[in-house]
């Protein structure tokens, strides 16, 4: 192992001790250090960082890849003064894709399609309930997939989401109809002794956690059947179920005449966002929400005129 690899291990340990998971960053930094080793380089330079960031992947990720190296380089300057911190602004910033907001009919079709795609075993019902929970609770994919059996308290009607994207845990209250749907799934799941002994709420046929690749494959099949995705083009994502939940919640508050600014922190907490600005983003990501915000602002101006 090269000295730079050893320094990387130290960097990852320190950052994780501060609560950062760094799953994607670790993969990127190991690739970068291997890139340097292949060139016989022992000191990080801006030229090497830019060359690595712009290689192998498409332009959409160049900025974030360089940002990952920049943080690592800042750490390295503490022990290697020759380290160069790559400048920002070399690559255009990565833009968040505008979310696709599913209609009620599309979500109903998604849930109806899962059992039809998987006629044997409980896989179809598992995927149906899995996607249904994402849609009604706004969970991240990993949060639902990693949900432990004992963290789904259906008697109290709450989920405990532990150690999420930013190392935080939170409680998610569920609607009575969601509780009933999940309870029905539990009864079917626990009829199989192997599944009943599994540690995850959503399990595969052998009681293990969900195979993420299979879940994504089934979702992609549905999007093509629903004509939301052309064969060779990208389309709506599973993560857009979470976006749909957020946008619909905000729209519901606007329609009900709620003080959205006052209630926004509650949605931030519910969704597990670290900063309020992450939730505010939905106001600009949805044209309908932006229009509601504009009308509220105009009304305030008229009231003070």
| Active-site residue list | 140, 165, 239, 242, 273, 282
Looking up tokens 């059992």, which residue turns up? 115
Cα(71)–Cα(233) distance, rounded to whole angstroms? 34
- Residue partners of 98: CB distance under 8 A and separation at least 6: 285
Cα(292)–Cα(121) distance, rounded to whole angstroms? 46
Looking up tokens 């900025």, which residue turns up? 63
Cα(285)–Cα(292) distance, rounded to whole angstroms? 13
Tokens matching residue 254 = 């606007």
Element (H, E) at 170: strand 170-173
Tokens matching residue 3 = 């000295």
**What b/e sequence results for 37-48 when a residue is b if at least 16 CB atoms lie within 10 Å of its CB, and e otherwise?**
eeeeeeebbbeb
Cα(39)–Cα(158) distance, rounded to whole angstroms? 53
- Are 182 and 237 in contact by the 8 Å Cβ rule? The answer is no
Residue 47's region, left for phi above 0, alpha for psi from -120 to 50, else beta, is alpha
């Amino acid at each position: 192992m090269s000295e730079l690899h050893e320094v990387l291990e130290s960097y990852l340990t320190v950052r994780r001790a501060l609560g950062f998971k760094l799953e994607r960053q670790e993969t990127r930094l190991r690739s970068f250090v291997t890139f340097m080793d292949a060139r016989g380089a022992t000191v990080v330079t801006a030229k090497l960082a830019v060359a690595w960031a712009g290689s192998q992947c498409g332009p959409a990720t160049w900025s974030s890849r360089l940002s990952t190296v920049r943080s690592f380089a800042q750490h390295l300057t503490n022990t290697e003064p020759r380290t160069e911190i790559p400048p920002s602004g070399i690559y255009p910033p990565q833009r968040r894709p505008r979310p696709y907001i599913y209609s009620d009919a599309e979500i109903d079709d998604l849930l109806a399609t899962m059992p039809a795609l998987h006629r044997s075993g409980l896989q179809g019902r598992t995927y149906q309930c899995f996607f249904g929970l994402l849609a009604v609770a706004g969970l991240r994919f990993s949060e639902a997939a990693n949900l432990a059996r004992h963290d789904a308290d259906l008697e109290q009607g709450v989920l405990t989401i532990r150690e999420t994207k930013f190392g935080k845990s939170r409680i998610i209250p569920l609607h009575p109809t969601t509780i009933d749907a999940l309870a029905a799934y539990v009864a079917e799941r626990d009829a199989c002794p192997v599944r009943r002994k599994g540690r995850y709420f959503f399990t595969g046929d052998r009681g293990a956690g969900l195979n993420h690749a299979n879940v994504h494959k089934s979702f992609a099949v549905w999007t093509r059947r629903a004509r939301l995705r052309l064969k060779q083009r990208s389309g709506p994502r599973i993560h857009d179920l979470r976006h749909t939940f957020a946008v619909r919640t905000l729209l519901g508050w606007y329609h009900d005449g709620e003080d959205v600014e006052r209630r926004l922190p509650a949605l931030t907490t519910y969704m597990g966002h670290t900063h309020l600005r992450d939730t505010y983003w939905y106001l600009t990501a949805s044209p309908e929400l932006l229009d509601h915000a504009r009308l509220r602002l105009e009304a305030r101006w008229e009231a003070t005129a």
